[in-house]
Amino acid sequence: MSISWQASDGHAHHILDVVSRGADGATSDFVISSWTRCVNQYGLDPARPRSPDILEAAMFRERVERSGDLVQCSRLEMATLYQQLSEPEAAVVLVDADGLILHMVSSPQFARDGAAIGFRKGALWSEDQVGTNGMGTCLVARAPLAIRQDEHFFAPYTELTCAAVPVFDHTGKFAAVLDVTSTSRHHQQHSLALLSITAQTIENRLIERGHKDAYPIHFHVRPEFVNSPNGGKLVVGEDGRICAANRAALSLLGVSSVEALCGRRLDEVFHATLDELLRASVESSFHPVPVMRVNAPNPVHAVAQRPASRVQARAIQRGVEPTPVARGAVGGMGPIGAGLGAGMAAGGYPAAPARDAGNGAPVHVGALSSLQSAASAQAQVAGAEVARVATGRTVVDYGEPRLASQRQVARRAIARGIPVLLHGETGAGKEVFARAIHEDSPCSHGPLVAINCASLPETLIESELFGYSTGAFTGAQRGGRRGRIVQANGGTLFLDEIGDMPLALQARLLRVLDERMVTPLGGEDSIRVEFQLVSASHRHLPDLVRRGLFREDLYYRLCGVEVVLPPLRDRADKAELVRRLLALEGAELRLTPDAEALVLRHPWPGNVRQLRHVLRTAAALSEDGLIGPEHMPTLGMAPPSMTGMPAAPTGPMRGMYGDAGREAHGGDLRDPSMHEAMMRIPSGYVPDDAQRQLSPRDELLRALELHRWNISAVAKHLDISRNTLYRRMRNAGIPLQAEPEA
């Protein structure tokens, strides 16, 4: 930002001209109204720019205190919003109803430049102070708006573009304005959309904070939006009367104001009492249930929960100690979950760490030490093999600069509670990378719980993830079972192959991520959990979202920061990686120059997993530790462009060399049967490079055709269960064909 503290005659003349003549055909009406107020009502002169008044520190503190829960409920959401902005040279600002900047998140550079023009905490940005500007004008308009560059009243601010939305408190009273200011020249629709979502989330948080002893009820006409920021929210007291409602609830119930709703009994707006809705919610394991509204022909989907204060008390009784993080989070996400909304702009990562403007402290680090100590859950580490050096830390980059910088990005994100989404071809090392992030993270003393969403049979996923209580279903263990998500408490939850999660479960997972509460199947009580979130997929999630196979809102929650792992063929550290992998085999092993050349030019469609397996096999075949091309028969079977490895072994193919296969064979490719399995790759799967680009759907079709649609044979071939195969086919939109007669 380069601000010149100069008046601009041209700018001032233009404003005065428009104010005196009225509409000029180019300026929006609301901007003209604001300019007119500035001149006629506040007596401001566009030719004499002024900077805003700034409150003394003590007075500022008092004003922040007076704003109650507002700043507290907004901080994390603002940090999350900042992460979502595609440009780092921006600030997210919260002003109170008088235009006082209460809180601000920006890059350090933006904070420094902004301070020079009074754009800082403690400054008053009402219209009567600094003329037309996003925050001040939104205070007057009480509606979302954008003020672009020349629309500012004073010339020094014409470098800036602002988008601003109003925020209402739990009584429905106008409380604040949330604003994004940047030096961008672009239209602010994107910022406005993000701002609206953030404002609604803050409002929901304010409602919950203000009514911890009341029963929250979420509802929407569409079940998938029940817990979204657009969902309706009511809080209902023990007496069954409504105490607060958000704006979405008003519009869904066709009511004009919060006052008109407060004090009414729940069964005056729904055809259900609080008790009835609560019972139905418990019975449905807190899935939304259809409920008719009074005076509306179609139902909404609603779910009632217990008061946050009671959930907290139960968690303490049960020994799931709500950490200071979790306590702060009752009624919303805690700091660790704060970034979960991040990432609407995939990969949107600020060039410099965002700072709490004013005190220079990191925006959010959270009460990490308490999280570390909360790592009581038993470690459940899936995917046994990882690359470790003597220190015990996982190694992912052996001199590959892209991987090293990706690791830095992920490390910074996860430390700030922002979820990380890993994308990369199968075998590229996503799980290894996830482990490395976990070890680098403040929760490294907690468990890393890895869940492979593709390999769990559909019928088991739900109980595996969420756990179940005694008697939840026939065959359930006595005493129930803790789900994997609860096991991740205090550590990292790694959701591998998240793109393969069935749609119905995506909704449930979304709710857990939103609320940080897990309700076991058949159980009544919810358990609060705090964890860092890393997910991975070899599939392009935005593509799945477009095809309706993956929930968009879940995608946004998972993708705070997207890390794309390079395929092995593109890695610059191949030679070093080979040396390290050979060293992991524990013997003195070397490649001949021919073998090294072969390895370096091979395209490695199965990536590091395939390389590791090939090297293991070679190590087993070599008698003197010297590995030549003859010890790598699968590479020698065809020229590198016609490798003997399977076609783009994404998803469906992974089982052939994947962890499932490895586990089934005791994890050792020296096992001749495994080696033989590698050598028996059907010739139909010997593709050229172009074929390696096949989509997962096409790959599935090829496998089906190869086995003439014999489901058992295809499932066996892909090393997955029939159920998983059916699910993948359904997800890929492949209809079932009659299996040919044997």
Ligand X SMILES: Nc1ncnc2c1ncn2[C@@H]1O[C@H](COP(=O)(O)OP(=O)(O)OP(=O)(O)O)[C@@H](O)[C@H]1O
Of 395 and 701, which CB lies nearer to ligand X in the complex structure?
Answer: 395
Q: How far is the CB of 649 from ligand X (least distance, A)?
A: 8
Contact call for residue 424 and ligand X (CB under 6 A): yes
Using DSSP, state whether 215 is helix, strand or coil.
strand
Dihedral sign for Cα 727, 728, 731, 737, please.
Answer: negative
Residue spans of alpha helices (H) in 29-101: 29-36, 57-66, 70-84
* Distances from the Cα of 41 to the Cα of 34, 98, 145, angstroms: 10, 17, 21
Q: At what angle do helices 711-718 and 722-731 cross, to 10 degrees?
A: 100
Of 322 and 429, which CB lies nearer to ligand X in the complex structure?
Answer: 429
Of 118 and 661, which CB lies nearer to ligand X in the complex structure?
Answer: 661
Q: How far is the CB of 703 from ligand X (least distance, A)?
A: 16
* 92-120 core/surface letters (b: 16 or more CB in 10 A; e: else): bbbbbbebbbbbbbbbeebbebbeebbbb
**Interface pick for ligand X out of 96, 169, 496, 514 (rule CB under 6 A):** 496
**Interface pick for ligand X out of 161, 181, 305, 426 (rule CB under 6 A):** 426
Of 216 and 651, which CB lies nearer to ligand X in the complex structure?
Answer: 651
Report the distance separating Cα 397 and Cα 389, nearest Å. Answer: 12
**Interface pick for ligand X out of 264, 430, 571, 574 (rule CB under 6 A):** 430
The stretch near ligand X (CB under 6 A) out of 132-140, 382-390, 502-510, 672-680 is 382-390
Contact call for residue 385 and ligand X (CB under 6 A): yes
- Residues 654 to 673 in contact with ligand X, rule: CB under 6 A: 654, 658
**Residue pointed to by tokens 């993080």:** 325
The stretch near ligand X (CB under 6 A) out of 201-209, 353-361, 381-389, 674-682 is 381-389
Contact call for residue 428 and ligand X (CB under 6 A): yes
* Distances from the Cα of 509 to the Cα of 223, 424, 477, 513, 582, angstroms: 14, 23, 23, 6, 40
Six-digit token string for 201:
């989330």
Q: How far is the CB of 452 from ligand X (least distance, A)?
A: 7
Q: How far is the CB of 427 from ligand X (least distance, A)?
A: 5
Contact call for residue 608 and ligand X (CB under 6 A): yes
Of 148 and 613, which CB lies nearer to ligand X in the complex structure?
Answer: 613
Helix or strand run (H / E) with residue 541 = helix 541-546
How many Cβ atoms from other residues are within 10 Å of residue 40's Cβ?
A: 10
Report the distance separating Cα 177 and Cα 100, nearest Å. Answer: 10
Q: How far is the CB of 584 from ligand X (least distance, A)?
A: 7
Of 55 and 450, which CB lies nearer to ligand X in the complex structure?
Answer: 450
Nearest residue to 98 (alpha-carbon basis) of 177, 207, 202: 177
Of 427 and 687, which CB lies nearer to ligand X in the complex structure?
Answer: 427
Using DSSP, state whether 647 is helix, strand or coil.
coil
Task: Decide if 294 contacts 256 (C-beta within 8 A).
Answer: no
- Residues 499 to 538 in contact with ligand X, rule: CB under 6 A: 538
Contact call for residue 261 and ligand X (CB under 6 A): no
Of 202 and 421, which CB lies nearer to ligand X in the complex structure?
Answer: 421
Binding mask 564-603 for ligand X (x = CB under 6 A): -----------------x----------------------
Burial class of residue 392 in the structure, from the number of CB atoms within 10 Å of its CB (0-12 exposed, 13-18 middle, 19+ buried): exposed
Residue spans of alpha helices (H) in 306-400: 308-318, 324-329, 368-373
Q: How far is the CB of 726 from ligand X (least distance, A)?
A: 20
Nearest residue to 73 (alpha-carbon basis) of 6, 167, 150: 167
Amino acid occupying residue 504: A
* Distances from the Cα of 534 to the Cα of 186, 296, 486, angstroms: 32, 42, 15
Of 143 and 404, which CB lies nearer to ligand X in the complex structure?
Answer: 404
Task: Decide if 127 contacts 140 (C-beta within 8 A).
Answer: yes
**Interface pick for ligand X out of 396, 418, 598, 660 (rule CB under 6 A):** 396
Using DSSP, state whether 687 is helix, strand or coil.
coil
**Interface pick for ligand X out of 432, 589, 635, 704 (rule CB under 6 A):** 432
Of 54 and 409, which CB lies nearer to ligand X in the complex structure?
Answer: 409
Dihedral sign for Cα 219, 223, 225, 230, please.
Answer: negative
Report the distance separating Cα 544 and Cα 423, nearest Å. Answer: 13
Of 430 and 551, which CB lies nearer to ligand X in the complex structure?
Answer: 430
Six-digit token string for 413:
């994100």
Of 75 and 609, which CB lies nearer to ligand X in the complex structure?
Answer: 609
Length of the chain, in residues: 742
Of 395 and 637, which CB lies nearer to ligand X in the complex structure?
Answer: 395
Contact call for residue 605 and ligand X (CB under 6 A): no
Q: How far is the CB of 388 from ligand X (least distance, A)?
A: 9
Q: How far is the CB of 617 from ligand X (least distance, A)?
A: 14
Six-digit token string for 566:
């390079």
Contact call for residue 136 and ligand X (CB under 6 A): no
Task: Decide if 233 contacts 200 (C-beta within 8 A).
Answer: no
What percentage of the chain's residues is helix, strand, coil (to nearest 5)? Answer: 45, 15, 40
Q: How far is the CB of 240 from ligand X (least distance, A)?
A: 50
Contact call for residue 431 and ligand X (CB under 6 A): yes
Contact call for residue 383 and ligand X (CB under 6 A): yes
Of 508 and 538, which CB lies nearer to ligand X in the complex structure?
Answer: 538
Binding mask 610-629 for ligand X (x = CB under 6 A): --x-----------------
**Interface pick for ligand X out of 170, 209, 602, 609 (rule CB under 6 A):** 609
Q: How far is the CB of 497 from ligand X (least distance, A)?
A: 6
Report the distance separating Cα 167 and Cα 155, nearest Å. Answer: 28
The stretch near ligand X (CB under 6 A) out of 123-131, 208-216, 430-438, 596-604 is 430-438
Contact call for residue 83 and ligand X (CB under 6 A): no
Report the distance separating Cα 47 and Cα 11, nearest Å. Answer: 8
The stretch near ligand X (CB under 6 A) out of 423-431, 460-468, 505-513, 514-522 is 423-431
Q: How far is the CB of 51 from ligand X (least distance, A)?
A: 53
Of 265 and 665, which CB lies nearer to ligand X in the complex structure?
Answer: 665
Q: How far is the CB of 484 from ligand X (least distance, A)?
A: 17
Counting residues that bind ligand X (by CB under 6 A) gives 21
Contact call for residue 233 and ligand X (CB under 6 A): no
Interface ranges with ligand X (CB under 6 A): 383, 385, 387, 395-396, 424, 426-432, 496, 538, 581, 608-609, 612, 654, 658
